[in-house]
Every structure is written in C-alpha cells, then in structure tokens.
Structure 1
Amino acid sequence: MAEDQSHKLSDVLDKLETAAHGDSITVQEVVKELGQKSFASLILIFALVSTSPASAIPGLTAIVAVIVFILMLQMILGRDSVWLPDVIMRRELPTDKLCKGIGWLRKPVGFVERFLKERLTWLLHHPWLYLPQLLILVLTLFMPFMEVIPTSGSIASAVIALFAAGLLTRDGGLVALSLILLLAIPVVVWQFGFGE
C-alpha cells in the first residue's frame, strides 16, 4: 500500500539523525522514530544507509536485505503497521558511522529532491505496484551474497531507495525508473562481477 501523503526525503534523514544519540542506536529506536506505519520511510532509510559509507559496518548489507524483505512482504500483504522480529529490533548500529553516513547522504538527497514532484500517481497503487514490490522481494534474497562482488550491494540498495523515495514523494516517475533499474540489476552485477 502506498503512503497517503507526500514527504520530503531530507525529513527522513533529519528524524534518523535526531534519534542517533549515544554510542549506538537500535533498529527498534529507528522504527519508533520514523513511525510504526512508515513502511516507505523505513525502507528508504535502511536502503540509503546501505549505499553510504555506513555500509562498511560488517554484515550491514545482509541485515538491510532481511529488513527490506520483511517490510516489503508486509506491504504486499497490506499490513497497516510494521512488525520486525526481536532479534532484528535489538540489533545495534554505531551512531558515529551512522551519522557519518547521514552526512554523506545529505548532498545527493538534496540534489535529487529538487526534481521530485507528484506525478503518475496511479503507479503507486496496486496492481501496478506489485511488479516493483515483487522484484525487490526477490532482489533482497540475493543481496547477502552480493557482498562478495564490490559495489553490487550498494547498487541494489540504491535502486530500492529510489523506489521508496518514489512512494514517499508520490512520484510515480521515480517508481517507474526504479522498475527499469531493477530489471537491469542482474546485467549490471554480472558485468561488474564477471565481465571481462
């Protein structure tokens, strides 16, 4: 289910930065700060973190893949509020690396934001929304293995972030772009990992 209101991407970064205090922050604190109903916001923030320097945190790509898989499945099934298992909710992320990642994301997010607007909103609803959702679901199954191919996990996370950004800003054009890129990911990963 698409988000009902349009949101600024930078607002999501602001909320996460506000929540990042002390030496570490738990996934549960992130969910609490962004909201139990904010599927797109949560998918966006975890995907963005996985594309930033914070992705250097060991195992982060795999954790993000699991979180996005669970959230996307719940979106497809039409669940109204977020549920994540306790083992993930208790997972801690170092705030210094997280804040560094947020700072790194500010400029590209600010640049992209200038071009976003409400358009092609029919793409934000089912049945049209099922295709990118299902492709992302499949993609997350492969993301933990992408860590062996340099940058491939970040590429996958960036495309997922584009999709979530399209939902948040009600920009169907961005959702369409993410769909095209989702279809292209296998080719790009193959070229990066196995091309001559």
Structure 2
Amino acid sequence: MNSPNDPASLTELLHRLRTETEGMDQVSVADILNAVGERSFGPLVLIAGIITLAPLIGDIPGVPTLLGLVVLLTLGQLIFHRRSIWIPGKLARRNIGRQKLIKGLDWMDKPARFMDRWTKRRMAWLVSGPGQYLMAILCMLVAAAMPLMEIVPFSANGGGLALTAFGLAIIARDGLLALLAILATGGTAWFILTHLPW
C-alpha cells in the first residue's frame, strides 16, 4: 500500500505540501491527495492527522469529520486493492485557503523536526506486511469516530495525534511509534466515552 516515492519523514511531507500547492489560492481535498500520493497509506494518514492537530485548521467545525471521511474512503479502497481511488466530487472539491494551510504547516515545523529525530526503523513487522493492514483498520476506526470528536471538546486533538503517530510510524517503519499510536487511540476512545454529553 506504500510507494517508493513516499516522503521519508514528516519534515519532507510538510515540504511536499508547500511546494505542490504553490501558486494556489485555495487548496482542495483533491489537491492534498495529489500532493501526498493518493495510493500512499502512510502519508495520507499522516497529513489527515497533521491538519486535525494544526491550529486555525483542525478547530474549524466540520474539518475533523471531513478528514475522517477522506481517510475512511481511501483506506477502505486501498485495503481491497482498487487500482484507482474514487472520492465523491463534492468531497474532493472541499477546500481551504492556502494561507491558512501554510500557517498550520509552519506551526508543525518545530514538532516535525523533533519527531523526525526520534523515529527510526524498529519492530518493523508491526507496520509492514500483514501488520500494515491492522494499522489501516485502526486508522479507519479513528476516522470513523471523528464526528463524535466534534461533539466532545479536545477529543479531536487525540484523534489527530493518533493518526499523525500511525502515519509517521508507517513511513518510518517504526513499530514502537505504532504501539504509542495504539495507546493514543485507546486513550482518546476512553476520553470520548467518559465525556459524551448523554
């Protein structure tokens, strides 16, 4: 599900998003998928997590749910080995101002450099081969919970953190980081269940 052209680090992914969207006023979901590679599992999950975490973007009502839908649709199709990914036109055309996107990416620069220093190839069996399908299913569960996260304050940050960790773990082949992502997923689920308004 991953490609040799995938970015090798979080810093490289942020750079790719900047360069691939240069000259645009508005950046659509389709533009983001093209920038990260629509058939690339790790970068796709990572960028959904980053955007959910980024201030000014992830706090916009509807954005976590939109990103959850993108992750669900694309990963579901990748698991079943579709040759091309289909996304409804209405969803693909949803956009955000590039200036706002760049501000969010700029905010991520320092954390990205920190995370890249600490990730390395270890316990790779967790994030490659059959393990990669388990990671995809867990990411889809996080994505499916995104609408609930919009109801429970601050829980979307936990979901964004889990997706970011899963995506980075897959790119860096870092199984230890994948285990931390699983813990973040469990912690977020517990937080949502104990803070639901009903």
Q: Give the residue type in structure 2 aligned to 1:182.
A: T
Matches within 5 A, 1:4-83: 4=4, 7-18=8-19, 19-53=21-55, 54-79=57-82, 81-83=84-86
Divergent runs of 4+, >3 A? 1-6, 78-83, 129-132
* Preserved CA contact (<8 Å) 1:39 1:82: no
Residue in structure 2 matching 1:102, options 91, 105, 112: 105
| 1:163 maps to 2:169 | no
* Preserved CA contact (<8 Å) 2:2 2:39: no
Q: CA deviation at 1:98?
A: 0.8
TM-score, reference length from structure 1: 0.87
Taking only the aligned residue pairs, the percentage that are identical comes to 28
Change (3 A) 1:6 1:35: closer
| Residues matched between the structures, number | 194
* Preserved CA contact (<8 Å) 1:6 1:169: no
- 1:37-74: CA deviations, max 9, x gaps? 32321221122111111113331011001011112212
- 1:124-160: CA deviations, max 9, x gaps? 2343333332232222222112112111012112101
* Preserved CA contact (<8 Å) 1:25 1:92: yes
* Preserved CA contact (<8 Å) 2:64 2:146: yes
Structure 1 unaligned regions, length at least 5: none
Structure 2 unaligned regions, length at least 5: none
- In 2, Cα distance between equivalents of 1:117 and 1:103: 24
TM-score, reference length from structure 2: 0.86
Residue in structure 2 matching 1:179, options 174, 179, 182: 182
* Preserved CA contact (<8 Å) 1:38 1:82: no
- In 2, Cα distance between equivalents of 1:36 and 1:135: 19
* Preserved CA contact (<8 Å) 1:132 1:182: no
